[in-house]
Amino acid sequence: MMSLAHIFIFVADVQPPPHAEGRGALPFIELAYLLAAVLFIYGLKWLASPTTARRGNFTSSLGMLIAVLATLFLQKFDYRLILLGIVIGAGVGAWMARAVKMTSMPQMVGLLNGFGGGASLLVAAAEWYRYYHAPDLTIRVDTAISVYASTLIGAVTLSGSIVAAGKLQEFISGRPILFKGQHIVNAIIALGILGGSVYMIATGPDLNVFIALNVLALLLGILITIPIGGADMPVIVCLLNSYSGIAASATGFVIGNHGLIITGALVGASGIILTQIMCKAMNRSLANVLFGGVGATVAGPAGAAAGAKTGTVREITAEDSAALMAYAQVVVVVPGYGMAVAQAQHQVRELADLLEKRGVDVKFGIHPVAGRMPGHMNVLLAEANVAYDKLSDMDAINPQLERTDVVLVVGANDVVNPAARTNASSPLYGMPIIEVDKAKNVIFMKRSLNPGFAGVDNELFYNEKTHMLFGDAKASLTKVVAEVKQVG
Amino acid sequence: MSETLVILIVIFVLAMFVGFEVITKVPSLLHTPLMSGSNAISGITIIGAMIVAGAGETLVQQIFGVAALALAMINIVGGYMVTDRMLQMFKGKKGEPKK
């Protein structure tokens, strides 16, 4: 401790007081932040394989511990307040992590995105207040820009994420909420925010303008999230994930901290990549998302009306479904959000186990936007104890479908709709799909013939290879499982 | 634009590229743990929150700081714990007992 005290005295001599302009950090603290950033990068790198992923997550958490410990040595602190915040946050965080159901992961991630944004907003607001409270403290233009950027990105992330989480939890209607001139209103608000920021950068902090800016930014976050429909939620959850990272980076600019900037950028990049993957999987442009048009293009019922319901639907019983799969060589299960809603993943796994015991090769084909967030189906199936080497993504499963005897579609619809390939007038046209119509038989588990979220009729229902198994996915699967047990 | 700001922007842009390189290699299988894990990492805002909470001279700064600290810590603890909970469910071989 003696040596540390010496370092502090030494630093007090050479460093400008941290409150004067920016926040200078000791070299060893800067290096600790760098080490933390390296550990975060390794953590993300090890997420490339399920065999190293847990180690990666642990490594990443070690990086965070180092960053927090290093910060304690940054300057003299009131450690009681720091402890207070840490204890509250750790308690709530641990409770959330234990209590959350795997089906509710999208809401959990949505809420955590919001908290990240909220933290950035509060830090930037407190920094702003420091300058506001001490008028003799001149705020440099670049610091001012960072403060306003961080406040506003944080506020948009906070309110946007809360709306997204509310929609996912169904506190708020999952339907897209649209009104006339939405884009114009958004543009005016954005301009107002920009104008207010420029005004304060030029003339100095003003409390009323600052509060108005925050209200406008929170409003903007709400307005860009409410037009998003249920099936498009994966895109917006990814985008907000990216925002929460960029908000952290912006905080780094405010306090002049390299560790924050690097780490926030990593998260920002992650969210952007996932957003792009989701957009590609839904055949939408990123610009379409950024301008808040997600869902608006397909929300109209026009698409549903356009697709004429033609041909006959072949219904199948649980008994016949069981026989069809029991005597098959290759069965591919295509799960969708309906599986999660019906909580049918355990029955799906039971069926897969029974079929495998009979020598059937069972695989799972998972579309990138199946579920309410990227990778959601994989987590649910892993929870039900399905081995991850059975889980194939769309590009891996599609070439195998021609040799597949039976495809079992559980609670998916739009992601297997051949109209995406064949019907140029369909809103789904161009979207990559799991090409289940190439398999020899399709068993489609569904409550009714109602169209999916995109409001588009599915011609697959009328395909002669398709057998419809109507009813609740969980109840139907339980029957099918019982029937498979009966098959000799 | 000051020289410091330029350096910070350089760091930001380069870090984004590192992020792109690393995250492109994460398979879709693990995209949910990637998101919850990156939630935890975005809790790095805790550095800023600690400074504001611990060194704030006014009550406003202290209140904002403690609130920011609590939110960032929820991200960190909640994010890492839930990610670990998910990752331990991913099993390679069939029939392995569930922990």
Question: Is A425 in the same domain as A289?
Answer: no
Q: How many domains does chain A have?
A: 3
Q: Do B26 and A76 touch (CB under 8 A)?
A: no
Question: Is A347 in the same domain as A206?
Answer: no
Question: Does residue B5 lie within any of the structural domains?
Answer: no
Question: Is A450 in the same domain as A350?
Answer: yes
Question: Is A157 in the same domain as A43?
Answer: no
Task: For residue A61, give Cα distances in angstroms to A82, B22, B42, B66, B67.
Answer: 19, 17, 12, 21, 21
Residue A42's pLDDT band, with cuts at 50, 70 and 90, is: very high
* Range ranked top by mean pLDDT from A24-33, A135-144, A259-268, A300-309: A259-268
Question: Does residue A15 lie within any of the structural domains?
Answer: no
Q: Do A263 and B44 touch (CB under 8 A)?
A: yes
Question: Does residue B60 lie within any of the structural domains?
Answer: yes
Question: Is A455 in the same domain as A361?
Answer: yes
The percentage of residues in chain A with a pLDDT greater than 70, rounded to a whole number, is: 88
Q: Do A133 and B60 touch (CB under 8 A)?
A: yes
Kindly state the average pLDDT of the residues B42-60. Answer: 92
Q: Do A120 and B45 touch (CB under 8 A)?
A: yes
User: Best interface-test mutation with A: which of B16, B44, B51, B58 has the largest number of A CBs within 10 A?
Assistant: B44
Residue A342 pLDDT exceeds 50: yes
Q: Do B35 and A274 touch (CB under 8 A)?
A: yes
Kindly state the average pLDDT of the residues A103-117. Answer: 93
Question: Does residue A320 lie within any of the structural domains?
Answer: yes
Out of A74, A96, A366, the one facing B74 most closely (by C-beta) is A96
Which range of residues forms the domain containing residue A455?
A: 304-486
Which range of residues forms the domain containing residue B76?
A: 33-90
pTM for the full predicted model = 0.87
Out of B45, B78, B98, the one facing A93 most closely (by C-beta) is B78
What's the mean per-residue pLDDT of chain A? Answer: 85
Q: What's the gap in Å between the CA of B48 and the closest CA on chain A?
A: 6
Mark which residues 32-91 of B lie under 8 Å from A by CB: 32-58, 60-62, 64-91
Residue A442 pLDDT exceeds 90: yes
Count other C-beta atoms under 10 Å from residue A380's C-beta. Answer: 27
Q: Do B37 and A47 touch (CB under 8 A)?
A: yes
Question: Is A389 in the same domain as A328?
Answer: yes
Of A281 and A42, which is predicted with more confidence?
A42
Of A134 and B97, which is predicted with more confidence?
A134
Kindly state the average pLDDT of the residues A286-309. Answer: 49
pLDDT of residue A338: 85
The percentage of residues in chain A with a pLDDT greater than 90, rounded to a whole number, is: 53
* Digit-coded pLDDT (tens) for A263-274: 999 999 999 999
Question: Does residue A6 lie within any of the structural domains?
Answer: no
Q: Which amino acid is at A293?
A: G
Question: Is A247 in the same domain as A337?
Answer: no
Question: Does residue A449 lie within any of the structural domains?
Answer: yes
Of B78 and A141, which is predicted with more confidence?
B78
Give the three-class secondary structure for B89. coil
Residue A171's pLDDT band, with cuts at 50, 70 and 90, is: confident
Residue B61 pLDDT exceeds 80: yes
- The residue of chain A nearest to residue B36, with distances taken between CA atoms, is A109
Question: Does residue A7 lie within any of the structural domains?
Answer: no
Contact residues on chain B for A119, CB-CB shorter than 8 A: 43, 45-46, 48-49, 68-69, 71-72, 75
- Is some CB atom of chain B closer than 8 A to the CB atom of A378? yes
* Digit-coded pLDDT (tens) for A189-202: 999 999 999 999 88
Judge whether A441 and A465 are in contact, CB under 8 Å: yes
What's the mean per-residue pLDDT of chain B? Answer: 90
Q: Do A253 and B5 touch (CB under 8 A)?
A: yes
User: Best interface-test mutation with A: which of B23, B35, B82, B86 has the largest number of A CBs within 10 A?
Assistant: B35
Burial class of residue A170 (count of CB atoms within 10 Å of its CB; 0-12, 13-18, 19+): exposed
Judge whether A178 and A296 are in contact, CB under 8 Å: yes
pLDDT of residue A139: 81
- The residue of chain A nearest to residue B75, with distances taken between CA atoms, is A112
- The residue of chain A nearest to residue B65, with distances taken between CA atoms, is A123
Please report, in angstroms and rounded to a whole number, the separation of the first and last CA atoms in chain B: 55
Residue B78 pLDDT exceeds 60: yes
SS3 content of chain B, % helix, strand, coil (to 5): 80, 0, 20
Domain end position, chosen among A78, A99, A120: A99
Question: Does residue B99 lie within any of the structural domains?
Answer: no
Kindly state the average pLDDT of the residues A60-76. Answer: 93
- Is some CB atom of chain B closer than 8 A to the CB atom of A364? no
Pairs of CB atoms within 8 A across A/B: 397
pLDDT of residue A12: 36
* CATH number reported for the structural domain that contains residue A430 in this entry: 3.40.50.1220
- Is some CB atom of chain B closer than 8 A to the CB atom of A139? no
Question: Is A159 in the same domain as A223?
Answer: yes
* Digit-coded pLDDT (tens) for A112-156: 999 999 999 999 999 999 989 887 877 888 888 889 999 999 999
Question: Is A334 in the same domain as A475?
Answer: yes
pLDDT of residue A16: 40
* Digit-coded pLDDT (tens) for A368-385: 888 888 999 999 999 999
Judge whether A46 and B28 are in contact, CB under 8 Å: no
Beta strand A391-393 with A406-410: parallel, antiparallel or unpaired?
unpaired
Mark which residues 397-436 of A lie under 8 Å from B by CB: none
* 3-state SS, one letter per residue, for chain A: CHHHHHHHHHHHHHCCCCCCCCCCCCHHHHHHHHHHHHHHHHHHHHHHCCCCHHHHHHHHHHHHHHHHHHHHCCCCCCHHHHHHHHHHHHHHHHHHHHHCCHHHHHHHHHHHHHHHHHHHHHHHHHHHHHHHHCCCCCCCHHHHHHHHHHHHHHHHHHHHHHHHHHHHCCCCCCCCCCCCCHHHHHHHHHHHHHHHHHHHHHHCCCHHHHHHHHHHHHHHHHHHHCCCCHHHHHHHHHHHHHHHHHHHHHHHHHHCCHHHHHHHHHHHHHHHHHHHHHHHHHCCCHHHHHCCCCCHHHHCCHHHHHCCCCCCCCECCHHHHHHHHHCCCEEEEEECHHHHHHCCHHHHHHHHHHHHHCCCEEEEEECCCCCCCCCHHHHHHHHCCCCHHHEEEHHHHHHHHHHCCEEEEECCCHHHCCHHHHCCCCCCCCCCCCCHHHCCEEEEEECCCCCCCCCCCCHHHHCCCEEEEECCHHHHHHHHHHHHHHCC
Give the three-class secondary structure for B57. coil
Domain end position, chosen among A79, A99, A119: A99
Kindly state the average pLDDT of the residues A92-121. Answer: 94
Out of A84, A264, A378, the one facing B32 most closely (by C-beta) is A378
Residue A14's pLDDT band, with cuts at 50, 70 and 90, is: very low
- Is some CB atom of chain B closer than 8 A to the CB atom of A244? yes
Kindly state the average pLDDT of the residues A219-240. Answer: 85
- Is some CB atom of chain B closer than 8 A to the CB atom of A248? yes
Question: Is A274 in the same domain as A376?
Answer: no
Contact residues on chain A for B90, CB-CB shorter than 8 A: 50, 53, 378, 382, 388
Residue A186 pLDDT exceeds 50: yes
- The residue of chain B nearest to residue A383, with distances taken between CA atoms, is B89
Question: Does residue B13 lie within any of the structural domains?
Answer: no
Contact residues on chain A for B4, CB-CB shorter than 8 A: 22, 142, 256
Count other C-beta atoms under 10 Å from residue A304's C-beta. Answer: 17
Q: Which of A320, A395, A405, A414 is catalytic?
A: A414
Beta strand A441-446 with A466-470: parallel, antiparallel or unpaired?
parallel
- The residue of chain A nearest to residue B73, with distances taken between CA atoms, is A89
- For the question of residue A414 being annotated catalytic, the response is yes
Question: Is A295 in the same domain as A326?
Answer: no
Q: How many domains does chain B have?
A: 1
Question: Is A295 in the same domain as A313?
Answer: no
pLDDT of residue A456: 67
**B88 is written with which tokens?**
């331990």
